[in-house]
Amino acid sequence: MDDVKIKDQAAHDAAAKVADYEHGWSADIETDFAPKGLTEDTVRFISAKKNEPDWMLDWRLNAFRHWQTMETPDWAKLNVPPIDYQDAYYYAAPKPKPKLGSLDEVDPEILEVYKKLGIPIEEQKVLAGVEGARRVAVDAVFDSVSVATTFREELKRAGVIFLSISEAIREYPDLVKKWLGKVVPMHDNYFAALNCAVFSDGTFVYVPEGVRCPMELSTYFRINAENTGQFERTLIIADKGAYVSYLEGCTAPMRDENQLHAAVVELVTLDDAEIKYSTVQNWYPGNADGLGGIYNFVTKRALCQGKRSKVSWTQVETGSAVTWKYPSCVLNGDDSVGEFYSVAVTNNYQQADTGTKMIHNGKRTRSTIVSKGISAGKSNNTYRGIVRVAPNAEGVRNFTQCDSLLLGSLSGAHTVPYIEVRNPTATVEHEATTSKISDDQLFYAMQRGLDAEEAVALIVNGFAKEVLQQLPMEFAVEAQKLLGISLEGSVG
Amino acid sequence: MLKIENLHATVAAKPILKGLSLTINAGEIHAIMGPNGAGKSTLSYVLGGRPGYEVTDGSATFDGADLLDMEPHQRAAAGLFLGFQYPVEIPGVSNVQFLREALNAQRRGRGEEPLSGGEFLKVAREKAALLKMDMDMLKRSVNVGFSGGEKKRNEMVQMGIIDPKLAILDETDSGLDIDALRTVGDGINTIMRRPGKAVLLITHYQRLLDYVQPDFVHVLAAGRIVKSGGPELARELEEHGYAEIAA
Ligand SMILES: Nc1ncnc2c1ncn2[C@@H]1O[C@H](COP(=O)(O)OP(=O)(O)OP(=O)(O)O)[C@@H](O)[C@H]1O
Ligand SMILES: [Mg+2]
């Protein structure tokens, strides 16, 4: 454990060194590392750590062997230095503890972490157990293992299953087996395959037929151990007529070394079901010179399998050095609906390549895409999207709006829409704009009393409003602040 | 309140203000008239601290403090308000949100408590009523889709809410219909004709001055004040034009 202490000390030092990153600190929690590097033994270690059944280990090994045969992706608009997969840790868990009955038993240090993360007061009240507080269930993925789950009982009464995915593998093997890897197959892409092999933990949600989940479900991810790749796995299933709103938010402590994050999120909606999935992503973007920062290579996909089902992705992406992420919808069910609302902010040397794929297989399926890219500093921000209409998908409609806002003259904005329509009855519309924050706007706002940064934040929030208003209330406020913070230092 | 001495300023390396001096005391209303391109808007931008407007000589103090040393938002918090000749659109930001954030930023700058949402809305309603503007307009994005006259009236609602010490109103009358001109004139009097406050009206026409009677009228030509007088000067100008005065 000494080794761990030293690492945490190093993390503290790193955090102290650069104070301008609001969440740049590292909690002092002992970490149980898997040995460095990635071999079949690593996969076995992780599986054993999690007490997994054999079928799960086989599944992982299968993925691992497949991953070894794959090539790293071609980075299109991204500039990513080669990643040494043998020079990273693939598993880090907080010190093993007995199962917790309530939040009172949660390590105070972890609660402190929530505080620093700026978890909204309402949710802190919930965490503190204040009566009458608005109910939001928080399943905290701290490092890689869920350490606290609130409201599990109440959710259980409603029939909602909200667990860490490792618990779900043990307790609901049939549900997991039925859907895991069905939305994002293990051979889908390099990072998805890697995730299948080494995912450490994540979230599982099942909302049964006809149930409206009684509260918003919320998970806070946090990368907390140095040099530890994070491989979260999320699986959410909304059965017929079910509804659930899920919030995912993340920040990360200061680091000098690049960290890889390759999550996989799978959503499934059956007939008339709806999932609303909201993300605020604020991982460490690297410093003003482009050093450090998280690599965020996420595969997020929804399978709208049922008729009239709906999935709505809303994301606010402000963090990470490199973001590569395309939350998508496969619209199989007739009359199903996919939505993608995105704000991506890049500053300094950040690179974001994000967008969505709307795959229209069912009849009269509809999709809406609203993407707002904001680039400052020397950053690059790309919208990349596909709208595909299958030959027998009659009466499909899509509307896409891509707006880019540039701050300064050194940043880049790119829009790469692919439209593949194989059915003549489809209506596909695409609109794109690129604008700059004008000196007129800035001076007008400053003359009314705002300083330069407040003025930028205000104008940017106005630009992103259509997306921000899709977020649940408490998230919207956080997200607005985040946009301002991310653009600090981009004017003046 | 405002003391400008020998002010020289350039825009894009081009000298525009060339030794302008002007003193405005509390309780006074001044009007500046002058030909197109004389530098009237430039003067208001320089006083507001607009980036790109470089002062090359002279001084300007506001309540004794060096105005030129302050950031634009600090000048606003100190009590300086510009009514823009061309009010700017900010898509996606409602007037209510814009003004509340701006006002509270100013209050913070002055060490005052921020106004709550309720308190702010009360003030906003009062000022909108004064300028006969529908509250629905205040919920819309700042100036987006506003007609020319509506934008000008909106500037005056903003002035009412912000309640500055010194208002520099750049052609607030242009674009207003006859009734709106009277409403705006009355609004300026109600908001600004108070002890401790002052107004600098930039205008081309006598008609605004019929409602808001100035104590002093100045002619700005080629970057300087070339003539000053009382209200009668405006009427003379309207009759004879700038030619003889500038000569
Ligand atoms: N960015 C700029 N680059 C070059 N010249 C400029 C710039 N901005 C203003 N000017 C010039 O400065 C001069 C003064 O402009 P200003 O807008 O102050 O005039 P004004 O007195 O307000 O005129 P008007 O009555 O037409 O509003 C004009 O000749 C204008 O062309
Ligand atoms: Mg002008």
Q: Residue A225 belongs to what domain range?
A: 2-325
Are A339 and A309 spatial neighbours (Cβ–Cβ below 8 Å)? no
Q: Is the pLDDT of residue B130 over 50?
A: yes
Residues B209-231 have a mean pLDDT of 95
The answer to whether A447 contacts B71, with C-beta atoms less than 8 Å apart, is: no
- Cα(B77)–Cα(A71) distance, rounded to whole angstroms? 59
Distance from first CA to last CA of chain B, Å, rounded? 31
CATH number for the domain harbouring residue B202: 3.40.50.300
Q: CB contact, 8 Å: B111 with chain A?
A: no
The answer to whether B71 contacts A450, with C-beta atoms less than 8 Å apart, is: no
In chain B, which residues have their Cβ closer than 8 Å to the Cβ of A447? 48-50, 72-73, 75-76, 81-82, 84
Of B82, B98, B162, the CB nearest to A458: B98
Segment A431-457, tens digit of pLDDT: 999 998 989 999 999 999 999 989 999
Looking at the structure of chain B, the number of domains it has is 1
* A2 class by beta-carbon count within 10 Å (0-12 exposed, 13-18 middle, 19+ buried): exposed
The answer to whether B92 contacts A440, with C-beta atoms less than 8 Å apart, is: no
- Cα(A446)–Cα(A54) distance, rounded to whole angstroms? 63
Looking at the structure of chain A, the number of domains it has is 1
Q: Higher pLDDT residue, A23 or B215?
A: B215
- Cα(A16)–Cα(B65) distance, rounded to whole angstroms? 39
Residue from B86, B107, B141, B142 whose CB has the most chain A CBs within 10 Å, to mutate: B142
In chain A, which residues have their Cβ closer than 8 Å to the Cβ of B92? 461-466
Tokens 């549900």, residue? A175
Segment B54-85, tens digit of pLDDT: 999 999 999 999 999 999 999 999 999 999 99
Tell me the pLDDT of chain A (492 aa) as tens digits.
333 343 334 333 333 332 233 433 344 444 566 667 788 988 998 888 888 999 999 999 999 999 999 988 776 667 777 888 887 777 765 444 344 445 555 556 555 555 555 554 445 444 444 334 344 555 444 433 443 444 666 788 899 998 888 889 999 999 999 999 999 999 999 999 999 999 987 889 999 999 999 888 876 544 444 444 578 899 999 999 999 999 887 544 444 455 788 899 999 999 999 999 998 887 777 777 877 788 888 999 999 999 999 999 999 998 888 888 999 999 999 999 999 999 999 888 888 889 999 999 999 999 999 999 999 888 889 899 999 999 999 999 999 999 999 988 888 888 999 999 999 999 999 999 999 898 999 999 999 999 998 999 999 999 999 999 998 876 787 788 778 777 877 765
> Is A427 contained in some domain?
no
Are A358 and A369 spatial neighbours (Cβ–Cβ below 8 Å)? yes
Question: Taking the CB of residue A324, how many other CB atoms lie within 10 A of it?
Answer: 25
Give distance in angstroms: CA of A333 to centre of ligand 2.
60
Q: Residue B226 belongs to what domain range?
A: 2-246
> Is A370 contained in some domain?
no
pLDDT of residue A85: 84
User: Is ligand 1 within 6 A of the CB of residue B42?
Assistant: yes
pLDDT of residue A228: 44
Give distance in angstroms: CA of A443 to centre of ligand 1.
17
User: Is ligand 1 within 6 A of the CB of residue B33?
Assistant: no
Residue owning the nearest CA to atom 7 of ligand 1: B11
Single out the residue of B46, B54, B44 nearest to residue B85, CA to CA.
B44
- Cα(A405)–Cα(A464) distance, rounded to whole angstroms? 10
> Is A6 contained in some domain?
yes
Residues B87-97 have a mean pLDDT of 96
pLDDT of residue A137: 52
In chain A, which residues have their Cβ closer than 8 Å to the Cβ of B89? 441
User: Is ligand 1 within 6 A of the CB of residue B214?
Assistant: no
pLDDT of residue B239: 86
